[in-house]
């Protein structure tokens, strides 16, 4: 936010970051404090942009789409899924129902491992190392399920234009494995979620801090579970044809809008994700998993939204007459979520400021530099190098 009069009236500025134990991502928080109370907050985000949007310009679309999976190592499937959906919408490509179901299974497994990562790192920020490690240990079980389907634990490469890769189709053996392992994991998830929610020490630290009202959440477009924890009854899955016709699940909406509710929202979303996966496995349609009967041709600018673990992801692009990407754009939830946290932390004790930042589950690109390899030697691209490229129009 950085209101000038509040900055000037503050007794002291406390800068934190870009490296700090409570900050999983590279950004800098400036807290303006009066008598240990935060009266203003300003976040400065490091230039971590990977350049993927520019990199994809002019690439054949099927080659370019796989790069979108590299936007994030946590939400890798959801980025590939949504960028693929955008092209399928623009070209009118029909996706077999069986492929839609398997895409949904992957999405909900990714939601589970992302929420467990979120709970783990927030518990670590609170100083509860034991529960943190239990969350990460449970997350390993989810990663095993992702491996069963895709053969990979991080970048799964499941969606393709017109469906999914044939290697990711589920035969009876893999379905049986998934159902058996998921049944055991479900019990562990419920126990872990209840343990976090019912821990009086955790809840007392989180209750009433980092409050983001419903009006503020709407004003600052707080996405996903962050917005739903402040009373915004919206989940983009309810608008997606892949979900609304085939699956029954509850949208978790809470009212307090504090650090406590943002953690509880994700803890309660995990059983709902499991419910969707069970329905998908039980009702998995027969038939093909891909439709390659389409032509890559000129496509007008087309957009797609999807509900990622942190909130809505936006992808859009156009194609030229040869099927090459033009004007790819990607928007992730974190920037809006962090902007909302600049407001949520006001009035809190300084010691609760970073807890509020972590409570929105920030996830930024994992690099702030590029490395060029020339003749076997590495060279880091500097700010001046980038400015020179910009001046040359590259």
Q: Is residue 285 part of a domain?
A: yes
Whether residues 122 and 204 fall in one domain: yes
Identify the pLDDT of residue 364.
Answer: 78
Q: What confidence score (pLDDT) does residue 157 get? A: 94
Lowest-pLDDT range of 40-49, 137-146, 363-372? 363-372
In a domain, 75, yes or no: no
Whether residue 89 lies inside any domain: the answer is no
Residue-wise pLDDT for 150-188, tens only, equals 999 889 999 999 999 999 999 999 999 999 999 999 999
Is residue 290 scored above 70 in pLDDT?
Answer: yes
Same domain, residue pair 284 and 147 = yes
Counted domains in the chain:
2
Q: What pLDDT score was predicted for residue 394? A: 45
**Residues 339 and 283 both lie in one domain:** no
Last residue of a domain, one of 265, 293, 321: 293
* C-alpha to C-alpha distance for 306 and 83, rounded to whole angstroms: 10
Share of the chain above pLDDT 90, in %: 72
Same domain, 266 and 176: yes
Residue span of the structural domain in which 31 resides: 1-48+333-394
Residue 122 sits in a domain whose CATH number is 1.10.645.10
pLDDT, tens digit, for every residue of 305-353?
Answer: 999 999 999 999 999 999 999 999 988 898 889 999 999 999 999 989 9
Span 185-203, pLDDT tens digits: 999 999 999 999 999 999 9
Mean pLDDT within 93-103: 97
User: Does residue 55 or residue 285 have the better pLDDT?
Assistant: 285
Instruction: Assess whether 145 and 203 both reside in one domain.
Output: yes
**195 and 276 housed in the same domain:** yes
Give the pLDDT band of residue 392 (cuts 50, 70, 90). low
Q: Are residues 147 and 281 in the same domain?
A: yes
DSSP 154-210: S----EETTEE-GGG---HHHHHHHHHHHHHHHHHHHHHHHHHHT-HHHHHHHTTSS
CA distance 170 to 317: 31
pTM: predicted TM-score of the whole model, two decimal places: 0.89
Of the residues 243, 271, 293, the one at which a domain ends: 293
Q: CB under 8 Å to 93, separation ≥6 — which residues?
A: 87, 161, 162, 291, 294
Same domain, 271 and 211: yes
The confidence score (pLDDT) of residue 386 equals: 59
187 with 99, same domain? yes
Residue 84 located in a structural domain = no
Question: Do residues 289 and 337 both lie within one domain?
Answer: no
Domain annotation covers residue 237: yes
Instruction: Provide the pLDDT confidence category of residue 367 given band limits of 50, 70 and 90.
Output: very low
User: What residues pair up with 38 in beta bridges, in sequence order?
Assistant: 33
Q: Is residue 59 part of a domain?
A: no
Beta strands in 284-350 (DSSP E): 299-308, 311-319, 325-331
Residue 65 lies in a domain: no
Asked, for residue 251, whether it belongs to a domain, the answer is yes
Is the pLDDT score of 50 beyond 70?
Answer: no
Same domain, 42 and 149: no
Is pLDDT larger for residue 51 or for residue 214? 214
Q: What is the predicted pLDDT for the residue at 2?
A: 55
pLDDT in tens, 219-257: 999 999 999 999 999 999 999 999 988 999 999 999 999
**pLDDT value, residue 368:** 46
Same domain as 263, residue 155? yes
Q: Which of 241, 273, 293 is the last residue of a domain?
A: 293
């Amino acid at each position: 936010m950085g209101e000038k009069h509040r900055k000037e009236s503050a007794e002291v500025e406390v800068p934190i970051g870009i490296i700090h134990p409570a900050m999983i991502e590279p950004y800098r928080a400036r807290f303006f404090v009066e008598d240990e109370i935060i009266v203003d907050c300003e976040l400065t985000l490091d230039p971590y942009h990977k350049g993927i949007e520019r990199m994809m310009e002019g690439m054949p679309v099927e080659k370019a789409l796989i790069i979108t999976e590299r936007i994030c190592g946590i939400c890798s499937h959801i980025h590939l899924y949504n960028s693929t959906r955008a092209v399928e919408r623009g070209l009118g490509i029909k996706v077999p129902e069986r492929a839609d179901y398997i895409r949904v299974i992957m999405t909900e497994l990714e939601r589970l491992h992302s929420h467990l990562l979120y709970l783990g790192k927030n518990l670590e920020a609170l100083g509860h190392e034991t529960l943190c490690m239990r969350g990460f240990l449970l997350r390993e079980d989810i990663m095993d399920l992702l491996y069963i389907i895709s053969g990979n634990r991080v970048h799964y490469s499941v969606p393709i234009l017109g469906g999914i890769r044939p290697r990711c189709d589920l035969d009876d053996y893999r379905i049986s494995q998934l159902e058996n392992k998921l049944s055991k994991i479900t019990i562990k998830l419920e126990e872990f979620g209840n343990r976090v929610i019912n821990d009086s020490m955790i809840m007392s630290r989180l209750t009433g801090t980092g409050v983001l009202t419903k009006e503020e959440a709407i004003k600052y477009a707080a996405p996903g579970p962050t917005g739903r924890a402040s009373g915004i009854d919206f989940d983009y899955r309810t608008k997606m044809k892949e979900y609304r016709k085939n699956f029954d699940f509850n949208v978790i909406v809470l009212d307090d809008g504090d650090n406590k509710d943002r953690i509880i929202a994700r803890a309660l979303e995990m059983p709902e994700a499991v419910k969707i996966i069970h329905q998908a496995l039980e009702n998995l349609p027969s038939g093909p998993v891909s439709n390659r009967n389409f032509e890559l041709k000129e496509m007008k600018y087309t957009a797609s939204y999807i509900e990622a673990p942190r909130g809505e992801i936006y992808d859009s692009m156009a194609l030229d007459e040869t099927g090459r990407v033009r004007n790819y754009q990607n928007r992730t939830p974190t920037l809006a979520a962090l902007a909302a946290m600049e407001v949520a932390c006001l009035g809190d004790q300084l010691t609760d400021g970073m807890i509020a930042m972590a409570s929105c589950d920030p996830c930024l690109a994992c690099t702030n530099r590029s490395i060029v390899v020339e003749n076997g030697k590495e060279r880091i691209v500097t700010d001046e190098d980038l400015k020179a490229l910009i001046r040359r129009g590259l």
